[in-house]
Structure 1
Amino acid sequence: MISEDTIVAIATPPGRGGIGVVRLSGERAIEIASGLVEFPKHPLETQRATVGVFKGPGTDRVLDQVVITVFRRPHSYTAEDLVEVSCHGSPVILRYFIECSFERGARVAEPGEFTRRAFLNGRIDLTQAEAVRDLVESQTLYQARVAASQLGGAVSIRLKPHKQVLLELIARLEAGIDF
């Protein structure tokens, strides 16, 4: 289930910082990012960091030097085309990049939408999607370790044999009902 719309959101915590990351995912993610950033030395390459400059639309004024990383579908977190733009962590620059993305057709991502897309596109299962939330919300090292284990598929691996048995039972039950 690849979504036809493109979403954008700031991926780093709110406030000022050394680095701020804007993430785009969807059919037009690469096109939108490429339209906002100039690459003086190298064109965008998949799974390689590329240095460029962010200029506001219709101007030659450089607003920030950025690093863009492109992940083409299905080899991304969401299993869609995904772009991460790392810029200096100025909230003004991050918000302006988002606004410029809106002008080019992206929409704001809902909370958890990147993970929801990863789940709907089969990149992660439900227990792993829940683990993302648990890891983000963890308050102790123990909680973080448990969530990281679950994110790595520990729960899914343990449930897999039971899932197979249940699927076989359902198939037998449905076959019995049909005949």
Structure 2
Amino acid sequence: MGRRRAGLNFRRQRKKINLPLVREVLSWIVEIVVVIGLAYVLVSFFGIRTNVVGQAMEQTLENDDDILVNKFAYIISKPKQGDVIVFLPNGNKKSHYYVRRVVAVPGDTVQIKDGALYVNDELYKESTDVASMEDAGIASDAIKLEKDEYFVLGDNRNNSEDSRYANIGNVKRDYIIGKAWFRFSGFGSFGTIK
């Protein structure tokens, strides 16, 4: 009769691998890697993050607000009146990004008379509350936009460097980076840009 002796046992016992648990862990790792990869591709190719410089877009956007820019939006469509766009002035890659609102699109005629904006000889209906413009700049005379040009203004009209000034002028389609679509700054201050 074989009795088991008490004491030390130096025989090696094989540990059983829990295959369902290993599969579950590997599944989670693969999902995390795929999500991180997809997020990287989306941000790299379809969007960028930048910040607002200056008070030109105040009440809509404040100085130093962080914004997300949808670079893909204007690949499938064109900028339209009321869009808040991000662009490089005159295509200058060394400049910071400018954030302004499109008020006129290709083919439109723009003029500023008595502090008010006229597009195609009609008073422009503002989407935000803006002050009367003190300086019409180059738009004191009627400007006809070419097929790839956009006229942009800051929402803070009397504190904005925009298409009224020769150093910015009409913004060519090639200089537009994308559409500003989401802002966030500080705690609880975030949302889509209108």
TM over 0.5: no
Scaled by the length of structure 1, what TM-score is found?
0.21
Scaled by the length of structure 2, what TM-score is found?
0.20
Greater RCO, 1 or 2 (C-alpha within 8 Å, sep 6+): 2
Q: In proportion to residue count, which structure has more helix?
A: 1
